[in-house]
């Protein structure tokens, strides 16, 4: 049975539990009808967008919480009905799922449900809906926790102003209605700030706020990489810059792409000396010269598995682990595959599949961008003649090869996206690896040249 149907059934029984049977048969039955109708709308939207980053059971839990709170508040006259935390639902949903359509749908469900519970109070439903919609847009792409509190306060003030305009446009109305709504908004912001990590853990999602915390270069994994694999650390920073700019150019999650790129190669830390970026130029191949190609490719390919293990040890979110797992897809370890062919009498003795990463291939735009950025940066670093023309040719060749090899088949990047990504890569790499000029040292007895950018 599909998850959305399970969630809807579970939600209906939850609502029945909040109402008496007689009440449920009447106005209470309207809530499940609204919920199921809007869930069907979400299903239709998913088929159009061809992606879904949320679980219907999670959405059902959020709605049960908000409707339970509404039932409790309405049942105690000491509380104002404007304390019903629809704005809190809007803020939480927007931050957790980074999906404004989903947030607006849940806000509509929450507001209509609150109006039904409060005795078919249409004014209340409209006011809570306005506050919730406003709060949703205020926290879209939120980067700081203080923005959550500001959004709650602003939504509360807006709700209060709406109440005053509708019910009591005078000074008494300001103190009677704006203050409760302001307190409600402030409370919503503070509570969401506190419970956000709990919901991130329960729903296994990662928010922009947590991503920014992971960008701290004092993170233990960063410190470990700097000390044990400095070349990999530098490579990851460049890949992060490439990925962020490319993701921004096509409307993907640029922050997620950058942080995912920072951590994509942490599996190289334990055996850093086997990776060329951590080796001195004069000793670049010696670590593999004494090894068989089959052993070398195992060492190289194992950095993905070891990276996943290290990420789980440091409790990184699955969204970050996806970058580690997918940043090579099922690509061929080409160098050691060729060495293996050279060391055998017949080509049939070497199975190409044995020299391919186990995957999976990138499943999202962000992980696909990191795969491309990783490949392009490494190839450009190995390029001897780094002129803009050569970099342009190399970038397009690498991206085309990944496309032909099927590494982008399971993500939703378009050819138009790939052209934008290529342009970004070419621009950044041409700037990073631009030619140097020399000029004579002034007032120097040694007459040596100095290299400058």
- For position 388, which CATH number holds? 1.10.3210
Q: Do residues 153 and 297 both lie within one domain? A: no
Domain boundary among 156, 174, 203: 203
pLDDT at 386: 87
H-type helices in 250-333, by residue range?
A: 254-263, 286-289, 293-313, 318-326
Respond yes or no on whether the N-terminal peptide bond of residue 247 is cis (omega within 30° of 0): no
> Is residue 355 situated within a structural domain?
yes
Contact yes or no for 27/120 (Cβ under 8 A): yes
Q: Do residues 86 and 108 both lie within one domain? A: yes
> Is residue 359 situated within a structural domain?
yes
Q: Do residues 199 and 78 both lie within one domain? A: yes
Provide the 3-class DSSP secondary structure of residue 54: coil
Q: Do residues 133 and 165 both lie within one domain? A: yes
Q: Do residues 244 and 147 both lie within one domain? A: no
Q: Do residues 188 and 234 both lie within one domain? A: no
Residue 166's Cα: distance from chain center in Å? 41
pLDDT at 171: 62
> Is residue 117 situated within a structural domain?
yes
- Taken in order 426, 276, 238, 433, is the CA torsion positive or negative? negative
- For position 89, which CATH number holds? 1.10.1760
> Is residue 411 situated within a structural domain?
yes
Q: What is the pTM of this model?
A: 0.84
Q: Do residues 420 and 388 both lie within one domain? A: yes
Q: What is the pLDDT of residues 64-95, one digit of tens each?
A: 888 888 888 988 887 888 889 999 999 999 99
Q: What is the DSSP letter of 175?
A: I
> Is residue 373 situated within a structural domain?
yes
Spatial CB neighbours of 197, under 8 Å, sequence gap ≥ 6: 210
> Is residue 12 situated within a structural domain?
no
Rounded to whole angstroms, the Cα distance separating 257 from 248 reads 9
Closest among 260, 269, 208, 238 to 368, alpha carbons compared: 260
Q: Do residues 196 and 233 both lie within one domain? A: no
Residue labelled with tokens 């490494």: 378
Q: Do residues 185 and 237 both lie within one domain? A: no
> Is residue 323 situated within a structural domain?
yes
Number of structural domains (the chain) is 2
pLDDT at 330: 96
Helices 365-381 & 318-326, crossing angle to 10 degrees? 40
**Domain limits at 190?**
54-203
Tell me how many degrees the CA angle 15-21-25 measures, rounded to the nearest 5. 80
**Regions of the chain with pLDDT less than 70:** 1-39, 41-54, 168-175, 281-286, 344-348, 435-453
Q: Do residues 221 and 196 both lie within one domain? A: no
Q: Which residues of 311-324 are buried (b: 16+ CB within 10 A; e: fewer)?
A: beeeebbebbbbbb
pLDDT at 16: 46
> Can you name the residues that pair with 450 across neighbouring β-strands?
439
Rounded to whole angstroms, the Cα distance separating 451 from 415 reads 40
pLDDT at 150: 94
Rounded to whole angstroms, the Cα distance separating 309 from 313 reads 6
> Is residue 115 situated within a structural domain?
yes
> Can you name the residues that pair with 359 across neighbouring β-strands?
none
Rounded to whole angstroms, the Cα distance separating 111 from 138 reads 18
Q: Is 33 exposed, middle or buried (0-12, 13-18, 19+ CB in 10 A)?
A: exposed
């Amino acid at each position: 049975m599909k998850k959305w149907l399970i969630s809807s059934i579970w939600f209906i029984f939850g609502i029945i539990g909040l109402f008496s049977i007689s009440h449920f048969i009447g106005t209470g039955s309207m809530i499940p009808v609204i919920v199921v109708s809007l869930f069907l709308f979400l299903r239709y939207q998913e088929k159009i967008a061809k992606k879904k980053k949320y679980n219907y059971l999670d959405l059902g839990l959020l709605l049960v919480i908000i409707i339970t709170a509404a039932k409790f508040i309405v049942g105690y006259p000491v509380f104002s009905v404007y304390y019903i935390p629809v704005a809190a639902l809007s803020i939480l949903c927007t931050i957790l799922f980074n999906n404004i359509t989903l947030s607006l749908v849940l806000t509509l469900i929450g507001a209509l449900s609150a109006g039904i519970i409060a005795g078919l109070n249409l004014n209340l439903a409209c006011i809570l809906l306005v506050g919730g919609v406003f709060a949703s847009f205020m926290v879209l792409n939120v980067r700081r926790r203080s923005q959550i509190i500001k959004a709650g306060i602003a939504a509360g003030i807006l709700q209060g102003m709406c109440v005053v305009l509708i019910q009591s446009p005078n000074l008494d109305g300001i103190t009677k209605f704006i203050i409760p709504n302001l307190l409600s908004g402030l409370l919503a912001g503070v509570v969401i700030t506190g419970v956000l990590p709990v919901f991130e853990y329960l729903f296994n999602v990662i928010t922009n706020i947590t991503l920014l915390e992971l960008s701290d270069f004092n993170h233990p994994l960063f410190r470990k990489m700097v000390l044990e694999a400095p070349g990999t650390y530098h490579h990851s920073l460049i890949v992060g810059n490439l990925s962020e700019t490319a993701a921004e150019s096509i409307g993907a999650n640029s922050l997620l792409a950058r942080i995912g790129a920072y951590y994509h190669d942490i599996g190289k830390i334990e055996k850093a000396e086997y990776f060329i970026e951590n080796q001195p130029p004069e000793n670049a191949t010696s670590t593999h010269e004494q090894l068989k190609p089959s052993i070398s490719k195992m060492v190289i390919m194992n950095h993905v598995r070891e990276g996943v293990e290290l990420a789980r040890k440091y409790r990184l979110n699955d969204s970050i682990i996806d970058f580690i797992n997918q940043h090579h897809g099922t690509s061929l370890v080409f160098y050691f595959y060729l060495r293996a062919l050279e060391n055998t009498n017949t080509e049939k003795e070497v199975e190409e599949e044995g020299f391919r990463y186990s995957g999976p291939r990138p499943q999202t735009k962000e992980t696909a961008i990191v795969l491309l950025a990783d490949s392009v940066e490494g190839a450009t670093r190995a390029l001897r003649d780094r002129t803009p023309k050569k970099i342009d040719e190399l970038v397009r060749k690498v991206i085309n090869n990944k496309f032909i090899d099927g590494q982008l088949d399971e993500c939703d990047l378009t050819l138009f996206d790939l052209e934008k990504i290529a342009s970004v890569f070419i621009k950044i790499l041409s700037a990073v690896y631009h030619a140097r000029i020399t000029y004579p040292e002034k007032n120097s007895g040694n007459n040596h040249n100095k290299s400058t950018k």
